[in-house]
Amino acid sequence: MVEKGEDMDKVNITQKFNLLKEHWSPKIVGQLNDSYVKLAKIKGEFLWHKHDYEDELFLVVKGSMLIRLRDRDIVLGEGEFFIVPRGVEHMPVAEEEVHIMLLEPKTTLNTGNVQNERTVSGTEWI
Amino acid sequence: MVEKGEDMDKVNITQKFNLLKEHWSPKIVGQLNDSYVKLAKIKGEFLWHKHDYEDELFLVVKGSMLIRLRDRDIVLGEGEFFIVPRGVEHMPVAEEEVHIMLLEPKTTLNTGNVQNERTVSGTEWI
């Protein structure tokens, strides 16, 4: 929920991406209805994981990536999105750096059911 | 909620916009966590309205628009988004045709607290 008077500015996505340094470390740029809008730069392979209770949207803003599912690969180019349903194992892969926008519930952990050195808090704003 | 096996295709935003004919008639292109992702082409003035229980995200994909609030105007260009918090009156305005992506709860009515000839069902997919 957005409190009146908070977060009442527009967001320029390109400007926010310029502030992002690390790969695989999504940062919040907006919140609505118990969900966060996040931006991330990714490069390389992530890890297989799933979110038992949360659907997750991946929108490619720049570059192209793969969302590997157990039974097939989703190739995502600029201006394409894919919604990973809750419970579905997936592994994002980016050969070159890709800029993505994520939409997910506030409760979502980046590594889902897995917690290891790639898990980040996911509650930082930029 | 996304059922497994449903909606498991990627969405190309440009291709979907090519299917959109009318102005001010958002169509669903995805669903996640009780929300819809919608696309709309808009041109001209909409009407003052608010959503008492739903925050609503406007992302400009092509063109530029104005989201008028009672106390100021938000100018949105390509790659910019604005989240209208629940309860806040707003009026979208587009001098030329604009392509926007919306994110809102499934319960959201396009005209919010107003129901008139501009109200659409808002449950059609493309």
pLDDT digits (tens), chain B, 126 positions? 555 445 579 999 999 999 999 999 999 999 999 999 999 999 999 999 999 999 999 999 999 999 999 999 999 999 999 999 999 999 999 999 999 999 999 998 899 999 889 998 888 999
pLDDT at res. A8: 79
What is the phi/psi pair of residue B102, to 5°?
Answer: -120, 145
Residue A7: is its pLDDT beyond 80?
Answer: no
What is the mean predicted confidence (pLDDT) over A2-31?
Answer: 87
pLDDT at res. B13: 98
Q: What's the rounded Cα separation, in Å, for the pair A13 and A46?
A: 23
DSSP string for residues in chain A:
-PPTTSS-S-EEHHHHHHH--SBT--EEEEEETTEEEEEEEEEEE---B--SS--EEEEEEES-EEEEESS-EEEE-TTEEEEE-TT--EEEEEEEEEEEEEEEETT--TTTT--STT------B-
pLDDT at res. A123: 87
Domains defined for chain A, CATH in brackets: 13-105 (2.60.120.10)
Q: What's the rounded Cα separation, in Å, for the pair B56 and A18?
A: 25
| Shortest alpha-carbon distance between residue B74 and chain A (Å) | 7
The DSSP call for residue B14 is: H
pLDDT at res. A122: 82
pLDDT at res. A4: 46
pLDDT at res. B109: 87
Contact criterion met (CB < 8 Å) for B85 and A14: no
Contact criterion met (CB < 8 Å) for A32 and B87: no
| Residue range A39-96, pLDDT digits in tens | 999 999 999 999 999 999 999 999 999 999 999 999 999 999 999 999 999 999 999 9
Residue A1: is its pLDDT beyond 70?
Answer: no
| Shortest alpha-carbon distance between residue B43 and chain A (Å) | 20
Question: Which among A2, A10, A55 is the nearest to B80, CB-wise?
Answer: A10
> How deeply is B5 buried, as exposed, middle or buried, from its count of CB atoms within 10 A (0-12, 13-18, 19+)?
exposed
| Shortest alpha-carbon distance between residue B31 and chain A (Å) | 8
Which chain A residues touch B33 with a CB distance below 8 Å? 35, 54-55, 104-105
